[in-house]
Amino acid sequence: MNCCVNGCENEAKYKAACLCQKHYFRKIRYGTTELVRAKARPKITMPGRGYQLVHDPKHPLAHSNGYVYEHRKVAFGIFGLSMCSCTLCGASVNWKTVHIDHIDNDPRNNQASNLRPLCRSCNVHRSYPERHTFKSNHAITFGDVTLTAQEWARLTGGFLSGATIARRVNSGMSAEAALFTTKATHGKNTFPPYSHEGLIELAKYYRTAALKTKKENP
C-alpha cells in the first residue's frame, strides 16, 4: 500500500494513517502533510552599539548561529573575497582584520555608500577630534605634538600604558623622560623599542590623519 498523499509513491509504513514515514512525521510536526517553509528569522539589533545582524547561515562571514553582521554582508557584496586596502592609510587588510566603518556613525545605515573598509588603527582613531579632551586626559606635548597620555601609549605600541605615562608626568618628569625612560619588567630593565625621531614622525602622521578625518566627516 502506498502513501495516500497525492503524488507520493512511497510505501505507507504507518498503515492506520496511510502515510509514508516522511509525510507521517510532517503531519506530527506541522499538523499537515504539506511542506511548510521555515519562516525567515528576524533581523537582530545588537545591544549597546546597535549593529544589525541578519540570518544567512550560508554566507562566508556567518557566525556559528547562522547570523552575519549586515554591514559586513553588504561590504562583502561589494569587495568579495578580495578585500581592498584601508581607505584612509592604504594599509593592506583582509576579512579577518578589516573594520567596516559607517561613515555617518549610524550602525543602522548599512547602505553601500555609507560603508568603507578601514584598518584597526584608523577605525580606532578616526573619531579622535570629537572624543579628544584634555580636560579629562593628560595633555602631553613632545616634539611639537600634543596628545593625551592614552594616545601616546597607543603610539608606543604597548610598551608603556597611558596610566604609566600620566603618572610619570605627574611626578615631575618631562614629556621626553616619561616616554623614553626604561621600565623594570620581571626585574630586568627594558628599553623603548622606538626612537625619538620615529615616535615624533608617528605622532605627526597620527594628528594629520585625525584632522583629515575631521574635515571629511564634520
Region 168-177 average pLDDT? 89
State the pTM of this model: 0.46
Region 181-202 average pLDDT? 78
Strands of the sheet with 44-45, listed across from one edge: 44-45, 52-55, 67-69
Inform me whether the pLDDT recorded for 199 exceeds 70.
yes
Q: Residue 186: what pLDDT?
A: 55
* DSSP H helical ranges for the chain: 21-30, 70-79, 120-125, 128-131, 149-155, 162-170, 175-180, 196-216
Q: Is 148 exposed, middle or buried (0-12, 13-18, 19+ CB in 10 A)?
A: buried
Q: Cell for 71? A: 554591514
Inform me whether the pLDDT recorded for 185 exceeds 70.
no
Q: Residue 143: what pLDDT?
A: 84
Question: For 78-106, what is each residue's pLDDT tens digit?
Answer: 988 887 788 887 888 899 899 999 888 88
Mean pLDDT, the chain, rounded, equals 82
Question: For 43-78, what is each residue's pLDDT tens digit?
Answer: 888 877 789 999 998 999 999 888 999 999 999 999
- Measured at the CA of 156, the angle between CA 203 and CA 147, to 5 degrees, comes to 40
Q: How far apart are the first and last CA of the chain?
A: 75
Q: Residue 133: what pLDDT?
A: 45
Alpha carbon distance 178, 4 (integer Å): 85
Residue in 118, 69, 73 with CA at minimum distance from that of residue 94: 118
Question: For 113-151, what is each residue's pLDDT tens digit?
Answer: 999 998 887 787 665 444 444 444 568 888 888 888 888
Q: Cell for 210? A: 585625525
